[in-house]
Amino acid sequence: MTTINREATPEGDNIAGPDQLHSDLHEIWGNPRGLKAFTIVNHTTLGLRFMVTGMAFFLLGGLLAMLVRTQLALPDQDFMSPDIYNQVTTMHGTVMMFLFAIPMLEGLAIYMIPKMIGARDLVCPRLTSLGYWCYLFGGIILSFSLVLEMAPDSGWFMYTPLSSSEYSPGLGSDFWLLGITFVEISALSAGVELVVSILRTRTQGMALHKMPLFAWYILAMALMIVVGFPPLILGSILLELERAVGMPFFEVAGGGDPILWQHLFWLFGHPEVYIIFLPAAGIVSTLIPVFAGRPIVGYGWVVFAITVTGFISFGLWVHHMFTVGIPQLAQAFFSAASMLVAVPTAIQVFVWLATLWLGKPKMKLPMLWIMGFLIIFVCGGLTGVMLALVPFNWQVHDTHFVVAHMHYVLVGGMFFPLIAGLYYWLPLFSGRMPSETLGKWGFWLTFLGFNGTFLIMHWTGLLGMPRRVYSYETGMGWDIFNLLSSMSSFIMSAGIAMVLLDFALHFRFGKPAKHNPWNADTLEWANSMPPSAYNFVSLPKIETRHPLWDDPDLPRTMAEGQHSLAVATHGRREMWGTDPLTGKVREIIHLPGNSWWPLFAAMALAVVCLSLLTRLYPLAGIAVVVAGLFLLRWSWENGAHPKAAPDAEVAPGDPPLHSRTMDGPGLWAMSITLLANGSFFLSYLFGWFYLWTVSPEWRMPDTSPLSLVGLILAGVALTAGAGILEKLVRGLRQGKDEGLAIGMYCISALGFVQVAITLWVLLSADLAVTETSHDAIIMVGLAYSLLHGGLGAVLTLLQGLRVGYGFVGAHAPFEPAVVAQWWRYNLVTFWILVGALAVLPRVIGS
Amino acid sequence: MSMTMQRLHLTHPLHFVIGLTLWCIWFVAVYGGHAVACAVAPPAPEQGVFTLVNAMLLVVSIAAIALLAALTVGCCRMAKRHEGRLRFNATVSAGLYLFSTLGVVFAAMPIMGIPPCL
Amino acid sequence: MRLIIQRLTKQRVNSLGIPLALLAGLLLTGCAGDKSILNPAGQAARDVVMIWWVMLGFGTVVLVLVTAFWLYTFKRKEVTRTPAEERKIARRWIIGGGIVLPVASITALLAFGVPTGQRLLPLPLGEPPEVIEVIGHQWWWEVRYPGAEGGEVVTSNQLIMPAGEPVDFHVTGADVIHAFWVPRLGGKIDMVPGRVNKIRLEADEPAVFGAQCAEFCGAQHAQMQLYVEAVERDEYDAWLAARQTEALSSLAANDQQHETAREAFMTHCASCHRVAGLSFGEEGPDLSDLGSRTSLGAGIMAMEEGAVTHWLKHHQRLKPGNKMPPHGDIETATLESLGAWLETLTP
């Protein structure tokens, strides 16, 4: 192996010339063609795939919206039957939220984040790929229900009991619950890897306070996805179990409570709004300084506002439920919290204003969309504060006023900045400029059409028109306003069509763009246009927040390989792993290459989804096992595996490969995954205590059906296993790996013992899961523990094998530390479960 | 151990999230506490706001306010002592602690005006 | 009263009707609709409208100012400033607009809002208010008067309440979640299976108000409507007295003309519908005083001569998906006699 001085050399005397470097890097990073294009894991390609797929679903959602407006254009229309209308509205909301807004913004983040922070790819490339396939397959399955006329029709919020098997006997709700859960795998995987990428793979010197603001926004969004999605996943699983098996979590007669669904749904649903808004605001905060020609005013203020928004948005969910009959004092807490969120939003608006005020703003096409955003979003924000007021909310809740507010916030807060961002970054995607004329027409038609549709709708709502009605009768004073809304909505779609046409045409006819056409300050413009698969030939050291303003020559010197890691002879995909706080280089991260496993795993998961839909449970069981095997096979190709990094040689003076350290990005990815898992677990505990205290017909047996002795024995096995694992990891930290394989096998055996005893406790409890919600929810808790124990045991078993193969050991000590986290988590949650399910009922009694 | 101490230092960005996490915990505590109190021992509506429930919620809130205010002051002091990155961290943390403090104050106001469990 | 409702429910579509209705809608915004929040008929609703207009005014000022400032930044001349000056200006914007403005606004709003909310609370009163129970079904309303002198009164798809005094509505859902909402009187409340929610409303004067199920409840959510009639206290008491089971029973039993219709009713309808003195069905709406009601099918048709027959023949077209089975297997003559008989059920 050739060694090359990879320190930043200002003179740029690399052994290999820039062209040679480029072709070497391309050899390693480049995308394959033909059938192998399915194996691509590169973030640039997958980001584009996400965005293009998102746009396709946007067109579907838009088409459904047009159908709705056609139906409501005149009173007493029977353009669609009530049944079809309800499917169309449900799918419009579902498609726009789950298949357009989130994946689209994730796609943008996946594309943009590594380029902005000076990395070559996201830190878990195969996970990006898995996420994309899950999104695509889930989206197709869900949309296919429309073709079958079996689409979900209980509203995009799926309130039970309307969505239960009794009142929605068809497959519609199942399509929703299974399809959305499938798509959420994609959101979660993107969330996890974006967090880790932002924290651990920024280029040298990019300390936390020098990060581009967009990265702050995406960091917050990704963390919110990680914490916010699991409640809905839990809710969906519980509701699907109720529908399929009859476990009465939400059914009053069985001791359940339909309001629990609403809590779980909105625990996700409210943060979701901010998950969509934050990246869009990130686009605004990125564009405004560029077009004002000066740094943003109050960087710290913006970080403050992002953090506050991220947290407060989790304290607002009940404001969607002000009419369900929650005590007024409790409502007042949520009302106040909902109003508090106005503060960070106002701070951002005024930071943007101050930046423009102190700069020299230019009204280019992207700025036009930002202006549209401002007007619409401020208006939506103001009605949002109004809605936070409980008495006013009681009046306009579930009317067209709320429909209008929601579209002001979502279209204004997400779609307008998104289009601004796409116009801004189009030259980067394609190397060409869009047409100003078409773009301006598109903007004005969209802007006027939007306000015509939704500004009027506030009024229709105040006149008493409820939401989600398939028709209305004349004489209520609603007719003219609905007609105007419908006409405007068609103007708006003409505008959007024009924008999309502009996007499509510019790839072919756009004028070639000059480099960094907007004179931006962030690193993504140091890419070639369009970017190469590896982004940067060499990775720069960053001194300030505005690398390209400080050194306009930076793109050239980077392309010439004058900075770090400009070497490709080792055949690895490499980039920096840096300290999350200071941006000091800690290790070299080597990334896996293209792989079939993500596609295969996603296909197996699609089979799971389809077989659950068609109630072929044995097939579903087999497919779960197959998916698990694919995922484990994928994890096999890590560390010192021949396909990963069998030889750990690095250039003198360079830090080690991450798989040869104890603190690589995988450890962080596991932590963030466990954060999501913890959110799921907390939601479960919430469900348990909620049903216990609030459910109207809750029935608790006098004695707990769970054997405490059995659970304690299982817990002892688990604790012993986790203890040994900690000891082994401590040894590895000191470079010792004696008895590692044997130790792993022992731990695995202890794990299986725990699983076996827990299973015995579960079976001997003789639970009547279809009769009482008490038994049903206990069942879910123990199943959760079994799954975690089982997976922990399998993972340690594989670690034992990997030690044997030499993939893991004192020379490559990384993986046991990752597995140890899983065990630690399992240990904590197991004992909490024992306390909550078996001990507390014995102490307090029913 | 030294790692932990470093993290607890008021210039560590972990403090960006501690204040608001405390806010969230306080929020869950008063919301959940109120719900449990109403399920176990709802006071008579005639009592108005002068109930044990309101008093308990108020005590919890005042404790949260005191803790958050102390952390705000701590971060402010720390911000003055440092420059550059550490100062940025401490300043933003101070702002977030202040917001959390006032957030508790604001969201706790209804406790003094609305009777529970209705 | 009946005339008003007939005017409201009649679906008049003729060549002149649409343009006229459009014009009326444009001119009479907020006054014409019997469901308009902006046309309050009770204190609670009036408070909310007041708050709305204040918020609208304030919000408009904020929106216009912010937009104006933004646009102005593109027009104004360049000024060179020192970094210290820049910091000062920035801080002024951010603290003034980002903190002071929203904090002042939301504090004022909360101070305004909490007392208004209190008014809707069923707090104890000196004299306990009238209680009316409303139960939502897919897609009709069951209404009960537990406090009626002489025993509980049960009816469906009509709600008569006393005007000029507070009334507590205790609501719940029989199947899925519905919501009870009389826009002109005040806020809505969900009707959740398994629990009883309470809301206090008061109508200033006798009048008819539109009400609507506000929570999406399935195929016919749109056509789950109700007319709420507020009447003077003595009229209310008289109305209740006439609907005591004994009074109604004699109504159904003493009728000799409609023997065949009654038999058909017992064969085809009685298992789901209650008619006092005849049947005890609970699946569908109570029909004991159907003839005296002002609308049919949960507020979707005006009650007039022949309306019941029309409904019985075409109900699946008028309200697709409703839970009453289609009557294709019953002879037209039978349906007509049933319709004629049901219309006579007037106390």
pLDDT at A11 over 50: no
Which ranges of chain C does DSSP label H, i.e. alpha helix? 2-9, 17-27, 43-75, 83-93, 101-119, 233-242, 245-253, 259-268, 307-318, 332-344
Q: Which residues of C touch A479 (CB under 8 A)?
A: 18, 21-22, 25
**Average pLDDT value for residue range C166-177:** 95
Tell me the residues of B at the A interface, defined by beta carbons under 8 Å apart: 12-13, 16-17, 20-21, 23-24, 27, 30-31, 34-36, 38-39, 85, 88-89, 91-92, 95-96, 99, 103, 106-107, 109-111, 114-118
**Average pLDDT value for residue range A212-229:** 96
For A477, the closest of C7, C25, C93 (CB atoms) is C25
Task: Report which of A419, A414, A415, A449 is spatially closest to residue A434, judged by C-alpha positions.
Answer: A419
**Average pLDDT value for residue range A818-824:** 96
Would you call C3 an interface residue with chain B, using a CB distance cutoff of 8 Å? no
Would you call A337 an interface residue with chain B, using a CB distance cutoff of 8 Å? yes
Type of residue at A583: G
- With bands split at pLDDT 50, 70 and 90, how would you rate the model's confidence at C14? very low
**Average pLDDT value for residue range A4-25:** 62
Would you call C26 an interface residue with chain A, using a CB distance cutoff of 8 Å? yes
Asked if C159 and C134 touch (Cβ cutoff 8 Å), the reply is yes
For residues A108 and A244, give the distance between their C-alpha atoms in angstroms, rounded to a whole number. 37
DSSP for C32-89 reads S-TT-TTS--SHHHHHHHHHHHHHHHHHHHHHHHHHHHHHHHHHSPP----HHHHHHH
For C114, the closest of B46, B110, B118 (CB atoms) is B110
Quick one: closest CA in C to B108, which residue?
C110
- pLDDT tens string A659-683: 888 888 999 999 999 999 999 999 9
Which residue has better confidence, A604 or A638? A604
Cross-chain residue pair C70–A374, CB shorter than 8 Å: yes
- Phi and psi at residue C179, to the nearest 5°: -140, 140
Cross-chain residue pair C30–A462, CB shorter than 8 Å: yes
pLDDT at A3 over 50: no
In this prediction the ipTM stands at: 0.94
Residue C169 is inside which H or E element, if any? strand C167-173
Type of residue at A83: D
Q: Which residues of C touch B115 (CB under 8 A)?
A: 123
Q: In Å, how far is B21's CA from the nearest CA of chain C?
A: 21
For B13, the closest of A208, A308, A693 (CB atoms) is A208
Would you call B46 an interface residue with chain C, using a CB distance cutoff of 8 Å? yes
A753 CB-near residues (< 8 Å, 6+ apart): A714, A717
Q: To the nearest whole percent, how much of chain A has pLDDT over 70?
A: 98
Quote the pLDDT of residue C32. 34
For residues B41 and A433, give the distance between their C-alpha atoms in angstroms, rounded to a whole number. 68
- pLDDT tens string C183-234: 999 989 999 999 999 999 999 999 999 999 999 999 999 999 999 999 999 9
- pLDDT tens string A472-495: 988 888 999 999 999 999 999 999
Tally the residues of chain B. Answer: 118
Partners for A (CB, 8 Å, 3+ pairs)?
B, C
For residues A305 and C99, give the distance between their C-alpha atoms in angstroms, rounded to a whole number. 11
Cross-chain residue pair B103–A337, CB shorter than 8 Å: yes
Would you call B113 an interface residue with chain C, using a CB distance cutoff of 8 Å? yes
Output the CA torsion A825→A826→A827→A828 (10° steps): 50
For residues A131 and A605, give the distance between their C-alpha atoms in angstroms, rounded to a whole number. 12
For B64, half-sphere exposure in the C-beta direction (CA atoms, 13 angstrom radius) is: 30
**Average pLDDT value for residue range C10-36:** 49
Q: Reduced to 3 states, what is the DSSP secondary structure of residue C296?
A: strand
For B109, the closest of C110, C123, C124 (CB atoms) is C110
Quote the pLDDT of residue A652. 82
Cross-chain residue pair A353–C192, CB shorter than 8 Å: no
Cβ under 8 Å to B: A residues 787-826: none
Quote the pLDDT of residue C53. 93
- Phi and psi at residue C142, to the nearest 5°: -105, 135
Q: In Å, how far is B45's CA from the nearest CA of chain C?
A: 7
Which structure tokens are listed for A514? 């000059």
Q: In Å, how far is B110's CA from the nearest CA of chain C?
A: 8
For C121, the closest of A155, A328, A348 (CB atoms) is A328
DSSP for A652-718 reads TTSPPBGGGSSS-HHHHHHHHHHHHHHHHHHHHHHHHHHHHHH-TT----SS-SS-HHHHHHHHHHH
Quick one: closest CA in B to A305, which residue?
B96
Quote the pLDDT of residue C21. 47
Number of helices (H), then strands (E), belonging to chain C: the values are 10, 12
pLDDT at C246 over 50: yes
Which structure tokens are listed for C223? 């056509």
A526 CB-near residues (< 8 Å, 6+ apart): A536, A540, A547, A548, A554, A555, A558, A559
- With bands split at pLDDT 50, 70 and 90, how would you rate the model's confidence at C9? very low
Quote the pLDDT of residue C2. 47
For A354, the closest of C38, C89, C197 (CB atoms) is C89
Quote the pLDDT of residue B48. 82
Best mutation target, C105, C121, C197, to test chain B (most B CBs within 10 A)? C121
Asked if A70 and A79 touch (Cβ cutoff 8 Å), the reply is yes
Q: Which residues of A touch C44 (CB under 8 A)?
A: 391
Interface size, chain A vs chain B, as Cβ–Cβ contacts under 8 Å:
91
Q: Which residues of B touch C116 (CB under 8 A)?
A: none
Would you call C179 an interface residue with chain A, using a CB distance cutoff of 8 Å? yes
Task: Report which of C50, C47, C46 is spatially closest to residue C115, judged by C-alpha positions.
Answer: C47
pLDDT at B1 over 70: no
Quick one: closest CA in A to C79, which residue?
A358
Q: Which residues of B touch C110 (CB under 8 A)?
A: 106, 109-110
Q: In Å, how far is B55's CA from the nearest CA of chain A?
A: 13
pLDDT at A192 over 70: yes
Would you call A399 an interface residue with chain C, using a CB distance cutoff of 8 Å? yes
Q: Which residues of B touch A202 (CB under 8 A)?
A: none
Quote the pLDDT of residue C11. 40
Q: Reduced to 3 states, what is the DSSP secondary structure of residue C136?
A: strand
Quote the pLDDT of residue B5. 58
Task: Report which of A306, A316, A273 is spatially closest to residue A101, judged by C-alpha positions.
Answer: A273
Beta partners for residue C131, in sequence order: C168
pLDDT at A578 over 80: yes
Q: In Å, how far is A240's CA from the nearest CA of chain C?
A: 17
In angstroms, the Cα distances linking B41 to A110, A703, A840, C341 are: 52, 24, 19, 53
Would you call C8 an interface residue with chain A, using a CB distance cutoff of 8 Å? yes
The beta strands (E) that lie in A379-426 are given as none
Q: How does the average pLDDT of chain A come out, rounded?
A: 93
Cross-chain residue pair A358–C138, CB shorter than 8 Å: no
Q: In Å, how far is A629's CA from the nearest CA of chain C?
A: 42
Would you call A391 an interface residue with chain B, using a CB distance cutoff of 8 Å? no
Which structure tokens are listed for A426? 């189009």
Q: Reduced to 3 states, what is the DSSP secondary structure of residue A647?
A: coil
Cβ under 8 Å to C: A residues 574-593: none
Which residue has better confidence, A765 or C115? A765
Quick one: closest CA in B to C99, which residue?
B99
Chain centre to alpha carbon of residue B62? 8
Which structure tokens are listed for C71? 């646009």
**Average pLDDT value for residue range A741-763:** 96
**Average pLDDT value for residue range C11-29:** 45
Partners for B (CB, 8 Å, 3+ pairs)?
A, C
pTM value surpassing 0.80: yes
pLDDT at C3 over 70: no
Q: To the nearest whole percent, how much of chain A has pLDDT over 90?
A: 86
Cβ under 8 Å to B: C residues 89-128: 106-107, 110, 114, 118, 121-124
pLDDT at C321 over 80: yes
C90 CB-near residues (< 8 Å, 6+ apart): A297, A298, A351, A354, A358
pLDDT at A120 over 60: yes
Which ranges of A245-298 does DSSP label H, i.e. alpha helix? 258-292
- pLDDT tens string A244-264: 999 999 999 999 999 999 999
List b or e across C150-188, with b for residues whose CB sees 16 or more CB atoms inside 10 angstroms: eeebbbbbbbbbbbeebbbbbbbbebbbbbbbbbbbbbb
Which structure tokens are listed for A56? 């396709």
| A33-41 contacts, C-beta under 8 A, 24 or more apart | A36/A594, A38/A596, A38/A599, A39/A129, A39/A594, A39/A595, A39/A596, A39/A599, A40/A129, A40/A594, A41/A121, A41/A125, A41/A126, A41/A128, A41/A129, A41/A592, A41/A593, A41/A594, A41/A595, A41/A598
**Average pLDDT value for residue range C112-122:** 76
Partners for C (CB, 8 Å, 3+ pairs)?
A, B
For A581, the closest of B13, B20, B36 (CB atoms) is B13
Task: Report which of A547, A650, A544, A663 is spatially closest to residue A199, judged by C-alpha positions.
Answer: A663
For residues A142 and A148, give the distance between their C-alpha atoms in angstroms, rounded to a whole number. 11
Type of residue at C7: R
Asked if B71 and B97 touch (Cβ cutoff 8 Å), the reply is yes
Q: Which of A251-255, A579-583, A687-691, C73-77 has the lowest mean pLDDT?
A: C73-77
Cross-chain residue pair B96–A337, CB shorter than 8 Å: no
Q: In Å, how far is A539's CA from the nearest CA of chain B?
A: 22
Quote the pLDDT of residue C1. 45
pLDDT at A4 over 50: no
What's chain B's Rg over C-alpha atoms? 18
Q: Which of A193-197, A275-279, A431-435, C251-255 has the lowest mean pLDDT?
A: C251-255
Cross-chain residue pair B107–A340, CB shorter than 8 Å: yes
Q: Which residues of A touch C300 (CB under 8 A)?
A: 473
For C114, the closest of B45, B113, B118 (CB atoms) is B113
